[in-house]
Chains A and B, each alone.
Chain A
Amino acid sequence: MNKHKFSRLALYVFLSISAFVSLFPFYWMLVSSTNSTADINSGKLSFGSSLMENLTKLNTQVDLGLVFYNTSKIAILSTVFTLIISSMAGYGFEVYKSRNRDKVYNALLLTMMIPFAALMIPLFTMMAKANLLDTHFAVMLPTIASVFIVFYFRQCTKVFPKELIDAARVDGVKEWRIFVFVYWPVMRSTYAAAFIIVFMTSWNAFLWPLIVLQSAELKTINLVLSSLSSAYFPDFGVIMVGTVVATIPTLAVFFAMQKQFVAGMTGSVK
Chain B
Amino acid sequence: MTHAMVKGIVATAVGFSMAGAVAQATELSVWAWDPNFNVAIMNEAGERYTAMHSDVTVKVEDTAKDSLEQKLHTSLASGMTKTLPDIVLIEDYNAQKYLQAYPGAFAAMEKVVDYSSFAPYKVDVMTIGDSVYGIPFDTGVTGMYYRTDILADAGFTAEDLQDITWERFIEIGKVVKEKTGKEMLGNDPNDPGLIRVMMQSAGSWYFDKDGNVDIKNNAALKESLELIRDMTKSGIARPTMGWSEWVGTVNSGQVASITTGVWITGSVKSNPDQSGLWAVAPTPRLTVEGATQTSNLGGSSWYVLNSSENKDAAIAFLNEIYTQDKEFYQKILVDRGAVGSYLGAGEGAAYQTEDAFFAGQKVYSDFSDWTAQIPKVNYGMYTYEADAALSAQLPALLQGTDVDTVLERIEQQLKNQIQ
* Cross-chain contact A231 with B37 (CB below 8 angstroms): yes
Contact (Cβ within 8 A) B35 A61? yes
The reply to whether A226 and B64 contact each other, CB–CB distance below 8 Å, is yes
- Name B38's closest neighbour in chain A (CB-CB): A232
Binds B, one of A11-19, A120-128, A173-181: A120-128
Q: Which candidate, B65-73, B214-222, B309-317, is the interface stretch facing chain A?
A: B65-73
Binding stretch for chain B, among A144-152, A160-168, A208-216: A208-216
Nearest CB of A to B285, in Å: 27
Tell me which residues from 199 to 215 in chain B have a Cβ below 8 Å from any Cβ of chain A: none
CA distance A232 to B63 in the complex (A): 13
- Provide the A98-125 mask, 1 if CB < 8 A to any CB of B, else 0: 0000000000000000000000111011
Please determine whether A230 and B71 come into contact, CB atoms closer than 8 angstroms: no
Tell yes or no: A6 within 8 A of B by CB: no
Q: A223 interface residue, CB < 8 Å from B?
A: yes
Q: Which of A227-266 contact B (CB under 8 A)?
A: 227-233
A214–B74 contact, CB under 8 A?
no
| CB-defined contacts of A228 to chain B, threshold 8 Å | 35
- Contact among A216, A223, A230 with B34 in the assembled complex (CB-CB below 8 Å): A230
Q: Which residues of the other chain, B, contact A124 by a CB distance below 8 angstroms?
A: 74-75, 78, 80
- When distances are taken between beta carbons in the complex, the residues of chain B under 8 Å from A210 are 67, 70-71
Q: Which residues from chain A contact B67 at a C-beta distance below 8 Å?
A: 210, 223, 226-227, 230
Q: Does A205 lie at the interface of the complex (its beta carbon under 8 Å from any beta carbon of B)?
A: no
Interface size on A, residues (CB 8 A): 26
Most buried by A among B37, B80, B82: B80
Q: Tell whether B263 is near chain A: CB-to-CB under 8 Å.
A: yes
Q: Which residues of B contact A49 (CB under 8 A)?
A: none
Chain B contacts for A42, CB-based, 8 A: 248
Whether B267 is near chain A, meaning CB under 8 Å from some CB there, is yes
Residues of B within 8 A of A223 (CB): 63, 67
A251 CB → nearest B CB, Å: 25
- B92: shortest Cβ distance to chain A, in Å? 15
| Per-residue B-contact encoding for A46-65, CB less than 8 Å = 1, 0 else | 00000000000000010000
Structural contact, B244 and A41, CB atoms closer than 8 A:
yes
Check A125–B33 contact: CB distance below 8 A: no
User: Is the CB–CB distance between A120 and B74 below 8 Å?
Assistant: yes
Q: Which listed residue, A61, A120, A229, touches B64 by the CB 8 Å rule?
A: A229
**Contact digits for B289-319, partner A, Cβ 8 Å, 1 yes 0 no:** 0000000000000000000000000000000
Asked if residues A211 and B64 are in contact (CB atoms below 8 Å), the reply is no
Contact A216 B35 (CB under 8 A): no
Judge whether B78 and A121 touch: CB under 8 Å. yes
| 25 contacting pairs across A/B (C-beta < 8 A) | A42-B248, A121-B74, A121-B77, A121-B78, A124-B74, A124-B75, A124-B78, A125-B78, A125-B80, A128-B78, A128-B80, A128-B82, A134-B83, A207-B70, A210-B70, A211-B74, A223-B63, A230-B33, A230-B64, A230-B67, A231-B37, A232-B34, A232-B36, A233-B266, A233-B267
The 3 closest A-B pairs by CB, nearest first: A230-B64, A128-B80, A41-B244
Contacts A121-B77, A232-B36 aside, 15 further interface pairs with beta carbons under 8 A come to: A42-B248, A121-B74, A124-B74, A125-B78, A134-B83, A211-B70, A226-B67, A227-B33, A229-B64, A230-B67, A231-B33, A231-B34, A231-B35, A232-B263, A233-B266
